[in-house]
Amino acid sequence: MLPLTARQFWSCLCTTAVFSGAVDALTSPIKATGPDCQTKDGAVQVTEDCVDATYKTVIIDADTNIASPVPHRRISGRFYGTEIDFNIYLPETGWDGRFFQLVYPTQNSTAETREIGFGAASGGYTLKVAGGGGYRADAALAKLSRSIARDHYNKPDEKIYGYVYGASGGSLVTVGAIENTHDVWQGAIPIVQAITISIPTNYCLRGFAGTVLEAQKEKLINAVRPGSGLDPFNVVDPMRREVLKEVTELGLPLAVFEDWDGVAGYYRDFPTSFRTLVLPLIAQFDPTYVNDFWTKEGYVGTEKSKLGDFYRDTLLYEYDATVQSVTADAAGVPTFVTLNSVLSQPPEVGLQFTIEAEDGTTKFFTATLDEKTKVAIIDPDQDAAITSLIAAGTKVHVDNRAWLAATTYHRHQVPARDGFYAWDYIRKADGTPKYPQRALEIGDFISNSASGGATFTGNATLKVIAMDTMMDFDSIPWHADWYRSQVEKQLGARYADNYRLHYTDHADHYIQEMPKANTARLVQYNAMLDQHLRDLSAWVEKGTKPPTGTSFSVSHGQVKLPARASNRKGIQPVVDLTSGNKTSISVRAGRPVVFKAHVEVPPSTGTITSAEWDFEGTGDFVKQSIGQGKSVLDLTVARKYAKRGTYFVGVRVASNRKGDTKTPYAQVQNLGRMRVNVY
- Give me the pLDDT at residue 20, please: 34
In order, the DSSP letters of 233-291 are GGSS-HHHHHHHHHHHHTT--GGGGGGHHHHTSTTTTHHHHIIIIIHHHHHHH-TTHHH
Query: How far apart, in whole angstroms, are the C-alpha atoms of residue 8 and residue 10?
Result: 6
Q: What is the H or E stretch that residue 587 is in?
A: strand 584-587
Query: How far apart, in whole angstroms, are the C-alpha atoms of residue 679 and residue 675?
Result: 13
Question: CATH assignment of 317-397, given 1.10.3470, 1.10.20, 3.30.70, 2.40.30?
Answer: 2.40.30
Q: Where are the chain's structural domains? A: 6-159, 160-196+441-553, 201-309+407-426, 317-397, 565-679
The answer to whether 30 touches 21, Cβ cutoff 8 Å, is: yes
Nearest to 242 by CA among 250, 420, 432: 250
Nearest to 670 by CA among 603, 595, 609: 609
- Give me the pLDDT at residue 17, please: 47
Kindly list the distances between the CA atom of residue 249 and the CA atoms of 138, 242, 374, 679, in Å, as whole numbers in the listed order: 37, 10, 41, 37
The answer to whether 481 touches 444, Cβ cutoff 8 Å, is: no
Query: How far apart, in whole angstroms, are the C-alpha atoms of residue 626 and residue 609?
Result: 8
Residue 335 Rama label (left phi>0; alpha psi -120 to 50; beta): alpha
Spelled out in words, what is the top-level CATH class assigned to the domain 160-196+441-553?
alpha beta
The answer to whether 289 touches 442, Cβ cutoff 8 Å, is: no
Query: Phi/psi of residue 659, each to 5°?
Result: 70, 20
Amino acid identity of residue 569, one-letter, is: K
The answer to whether 666 touches 534, Cβ cutoff 8 Å, is: yes
Query: How far apart, in whole angstroms, are the C-alpha atoms of residue 111 and residue 101?
Result: 9
CA dihedral (486, 490, 496, 497) positive or negative? negative
Q: What is the pLDDT of residues 37-84, one digit of tens each?
A: 999 999 999 999 999 999 999 999 999 999 999 999 999 999 999 999
Query: How far apart, in whole angstroms, are the C-alpha atoms of residue 115 and residue 508?
Result: 20
- Give me the pLDDT at residue 270, please: 93
Kindly list the distances between the CA atom of residue 138 and the CA atoms of 41, 95, 128, 313, 431, in Å, as whole numbers in the listed order: 20, 21, 8, 51, 41
- Give me the pLDDT at residue 133, please: 84
Kindly list the distances between the CA atom of residue 45 and the CA atoms of 42, 52, 585, 592, in Å, as whole numbers in the listed order: 9, 9, 59, 65
Q: Which positions ≥6 away from 63 have C-beta within 8 Å? A: 3, 4, 26, 73, 74, 75, 76
Nearest to 135 by CA among 104, 113, 100: 104
In order, the DSSP letters of 466-492 are EEEESS-SSS-HHHHHHHHHHHHHHHG
Nearest to 72 by CA among 9, 152, 136, 140: 152
Residue 77 Rama label (left phi>0; alpha psi -120 to 50; beta): beta
Instruction: List strand residue ranges (DSSP E) for 430-552, in order.
Output: 463-469, 499-504
- Give me the pLDDT at residue 628, please: 87
Query: How far apart, in whole angstroms, are the C-alpha atoms of residue 86 and residue 130?
Result: 6
Helices and strands (H and E) in the chain: how many: 18, 30
The answer to whether 540 touches 463, Cβ cutoff 8 Å, is: yes
The answer to whether 174 touches 103, Cβ cutoff 8 Å, is: yes
Query: How far apart, in whole angstroms, are the C-alpha atoms of residue 228 and residue 476?
Result: 24
Query: How far apart, in whole angstroms, are the C-alpha atoms of residue 119 and residue 91?
Result: 8
With a cut of 50, which residues of the chain have pLDDT below it?
1-27
Query: How far apart, in whole angstroms, are the C-alpha atoms of residue 173 and residue 615?
Result: 41
Say if domain 565-679 classifies as CATH 1.10.357.10: no
Q: What is the pLDDT of residues 9-48, one digit of tens each?
A: 333 333 334 443 322 333 457 777 789 999 999 999 999 9
